[in-house]
Amino acid sequence: MLEKSFGLLFYLKQSKSQKKGPLYIYLKITVDGKSVELSSKRKCESAKWNPSSARADGTREDVRELNYFLDALELQIFQAKRSLIEANKEVSAQALKDILTGNVESRKKILEVFSVHNAQMKALQGVDFAASTMQRYNISYNHTRDFIKWKYGTNDKDIKDLDHEFISQYAFWLKTVRRCDHNTTMKYLVNFKKIVLICVKNKWLPGDPFSNFKLTRKVLERTALTDIELRRIAEKDFENVRLSNVRDIFLFSCYTGLAYVDVKNLKRTDIQKGVDGELWIFINRQKTNALSRIPLLNDAKKIINKYDHHPKCVADGVVLPVLTNQKMNSYLKEIADCCGIKMELTYHIARHTFATTVTLSNGVPIETVSKMLGHATIKQTQHYAKTLDLKVSEDMGRLQRKLGRKRMLPT
C-alpha cells in the first residue's frame, strides 16, 4: 500500500554530552504521520544553519559542498522510495531508513550512482573541475538515461545489469540514434566508465564490463590555414562591421593559439609585461586549467589596440567583443566564402593555425609551442607537427645539402 503523506526535514541536533561546537545534521523522514530520524554524519555551525531552507547559508566552498551532499542524500531517499514502489513494497519511514543504512539489500541503480557523482562534482566545480567538465558529465548522464529508456523501456537499471553487451549496445545507440562520430562516442563512454569504476571499487559490481571493450580513438588530421590563406583573410577589406570584427577575433586566436572560450573570457588584466619587458598573456585555460603564457606578436597587439575603446570591451573589461561560438562560426563560413577558402572554417581552426602555420612552420621548437598552447605533454602537440609536410621537406633539403657537402670534401 502506498503512503498518504510524505515529508523530509534536515535539522541540527545537539547530543546530551555536547556543550559547544558544530552540531550534527539529522534527517527526519515522515510517512503517514510516522517518523524516523537518520544522521547525515555531517556537522554545521548553528549560526550558519537556516531552518527555513533546511540548508547552510553562505557561498563558501565548504558550505556549497555540504548543501550538495544534503541534496544528494535527499535524492537517495526519493530513489529509495521509487524502488519500493516499483517492487510493489510498502513505503514506510523505517523501510526507507533501512535501505539507506544497509539493513536490507539495496540494489544500486546506474542513474542513481551517476546522479550522486554529478552532484558531488557540482560541489567541486571551480575547485577541481571546470564548468565545461561538469557540462560534459551532465550530457553523459542524459545520454545514459535516454539509452536505458530506449533499450530497456525503464527509467533506470540495476548496477548488476552492467555487462559487455550493455556497453556494446550503448556504443551502438550513440553512433546510430544520437549520430555521434566515433571519437565523440568514445568520449561519452570514457565518462560512463568512470561511473562504472565507482561501482567496481565499492564492490557493487563484481567486475569491470569495460575489460574487453576497446576505448580507442581515431587519429584525426588537424586542419589549419596555409600562410597564403591566413594573409588573404587578414588583408581582406570587409565593409560589414560585424564580419570585420569576427575576422579580427579569429586572427587574434591565429596569432595567440587561444581557444574560443579563452578569448571570450580574456580580460585586460590578463595582459601584462613578461620577463622580456614585452606584453604577454597570462591565463589559465578554461578547458584544462593549465597555465598558458604567450608573448604577444605585433599583429595580435594591433588587434587589441583596435578594440581598446569598443563599448563592450570597456563595459565588461574584456579584450575583444566576442560573440557566441555559434554566431562566430556562422560568420566565419561567410568570411571563408568571401576569401575563396574551400575548407569549412570554424573557430577552432585558429588554434591549429597558430600551432602549425604561425609557429612550428617558422621554426619555433615544439616544446615552446606546447607550453604556449597549455598542453600537459608534448604528445598532444605532436598531432599538429604530423601535418607539416613543408617542414619535412625543409628538413630533408637540409640533409641533402649536408650530404652533398660531404661528397665534395677531398679524400
What span, in angstroms and rounded, lies between the C-alpha atoms of 42 and 26?
8
Question: Quick one: three-class SS letters along 78-117?
Answer: HHHHHHHHHCCCCCCHHHHHHHHHCCCCCCCEHHHHHHHH
Residue 127 pLDDT class (50, 70, 90 cuts): confident
- Residue 206, pLDDT score: 83
Residue 113 pLDDT class (50, 70, 90 cuts): very high
* pLDDT tens digits along 79-99: 999 888 887 777 888 888 888
Residue 1 pLDDT class (50, 70, 90 cuts): very low
- Residue 391, pLDDT score: 63
Name the 3-class secondary structure at 204.
coil
pTM for the model: 0.56
DSSP letters spanning 305-348: HHTTT-HHHHHHTBSS----HHHHHHHHHHHHHHTT--S---TH
pLDDT (average), residues 390-394: 66
Please identify, in words, the CATH class of the domain defined by 108-218.
mainly alpha
- Residue 263, pLDDT score: 94
Centre a 10 Å sphere on the Cβ of residue 225 and count the other Cβ atoms it contains.
Answer: 25
* pLDDT tens digits along 217-256: 876 665 889 899 999 999 999 989 999 999 999 999 999 9
Identify residue 321 by its one-letter amino acid code: P
**Residue 393 pLDDT exceeds 90:** no
CATH T-level topology, domain 227-395: hpI Integrase; Chain A (1.10.443)
* pLDDT tens digits along 248-289: 999 999 999 999 989 999 999 999 998 999 999 998 876 666
Instruction: Provide the H-helix boundaries in 339-388.
Output: 348-353, 366-373, 378-385
How remote is the C-alpha of 202 from its chain's centroid? Answer: 25
Name the 3-class secondary structure at 16.
coil
pLDDT (average), residues 286-301: 83
DSSP letters spanning 219-278: PPPPP---HHHHHHHHH---SSHHHHHHHHHHHHHHHH---HHHHHT-BGGGEEE-TTSS
Grid coordinates belonging to 214:
576497446
Contacts 24+ apart (CB under 8 A), 314-320: 317/267, 317/268, 317/269, 318/264, 318/265, 318/266, 318/267, 318/268, 319/263, 319/266, 319/267, 319/268, 319/270, 319/271, 320/248, 320/249, 320/252, 320/263, 320/266
What span, in angstroms and rounded, lies between the C-alpha atoms of 16 and 193?
46
Residue 291 pLDDT class (50, 70, 90 cuts): confident
* pLDDT tens digits along 4-62: 689 999 999 887 777 788 999 999 999 988 899 999 989 999 999 999 999 999 889 99
- Residue 12, pLDDT score: 93
What span, in angstroms and rounded, lies between the C-alpha atoms of 55 and 74?
12
- Residue 16, pLDDT score: 74
pLDDT (average), residues 156-170: 90
Quick one: what percent of the chain has pLDDT higher than 90?
Answer: 55
Contact present, 381 and 355 (Cβ < 8 Å): yes
Q: Locate the domains of the chain by residue range.
A: 1-106, 108-218, 227-395
* pLDDT tens digits along 304-348: 999 999 999 999 999 999 999 899 999 999 999 999 998 889 998
Residue 385 pLDDT class (50, 70, 90 cuts): low
DSSP letters spanning 223-237: P---HHHHHHHHH--
What span, in angstroms and rounded, lies between the C-alpha atoms of 390 and 357?
10
- Residue 407, pLDDT score: 65
Stronger pLDDT, 410 or 238, i.e. the higher one:
238
Mean pLDDT of the chain: 87
What span, in angstroms and rounded, lies between the C-alpha atoms of 232 and 202?
58
